[in-house]
Structures are given as structure tokens and as C-alpha cells.
Amino acid sequence: MREEENIGCGHEHEAHEHELRPAGVVERAAAMASAMGDIRRLRLLELLFDGRHCVSELAEEMGDSMSAISQRLKILHGARLVSRERDGKHVYYSLSDDHVRTIIGQLFLHSAE
């Protein structure tokens, strides 16, 4: 036998019926987690906890360029974690809902232990 790809190792396991979620759900969940999985994007979400902020405000607070912040926000928006609204010249971002707030809260809670 050639040593190509060993799938499993051939021994017996107990039978298990796993109720797996639809691919779309897991994909979206992974995309959400992936978007949160960067310290700067997570800081951005943290800054949005107390309400909406515009890009320049966030850029100032994080000491980064607007371009950088805008790109991070775009990723967070793509993962449906934040929502956008334009108001005159400014664009305001906020956490998209309380569910998001809960998830991030849980994450911080677990990490603080």
C-alpha cells in the first residue's frame, strides 16, 4: 500500500449519528467568527458597544488611517456584524443587533477568565 492520503486508520468506532447543520449556516458562522478573529477588528467592535460612530472618529481613537478603518469596517459589514448609515458627509457604523452584542460579550467573558 502506498502512503498517500490516510483517511482515518481503519479501526472500529462506536456508531454516531451526528445532526449536522446546513452548510450555509456553518459558512456564515465561520465568516462571522473570522471577521471577529482579528484584534483590530475586535477593538473596533468594542468601540461600537456604546453606540454609533463615524469612520473618522474611530480612526482617531485607534490612531489609524481612515482607509485602514474603512477596510476593516467593510469586512465586519460583510459578516453582518455592523450596519452602515450615511448622514450628510459622515458614515456611521453600529453593531447590527443585540445578538451580536451578546456574542461579543460572551467571547470577552470567556477570555477574561
Partner DNA sequence: ACCTCACTTCAACGATCAATAAAACGATAA
Partner DNA sequence: TTATCGTTTTATTGATCGTTGAAGTGAGGT
Site residues for a second copy per CB under 8 A: 5-9, 11, 13, 16, 18, 20-21, 25-39, 41-43, 46-47, 50, 53-54, 56-57, 59-61, 63-67, 99-100, 102-103, 106-112
Q: What x/- string results for residues 32 through 71 when contact with DNA is judged by CB under 7 A?
A: --x---x-x-------------xxxx-x----xxxxxxxx
Q: What x/- string results for residues 66 through 95 when contact with DNA is judged by CB under 7 A?
A: xxxxxxxxxx--------x-x-xxxxx---
Q: Could you tell me if residue 10 is left (phi over 0), alpha (psi between -120 and 50 degrees) or otherwise beta?
A: left
Structure letter (DSSP) for residue 51: S
Question: Hey, is 70 helix, strand or coil?
Answer: helix
CB neighbour list of residue 66: distance below 8 Å, 6 or more residues apart: 55, 56, 59
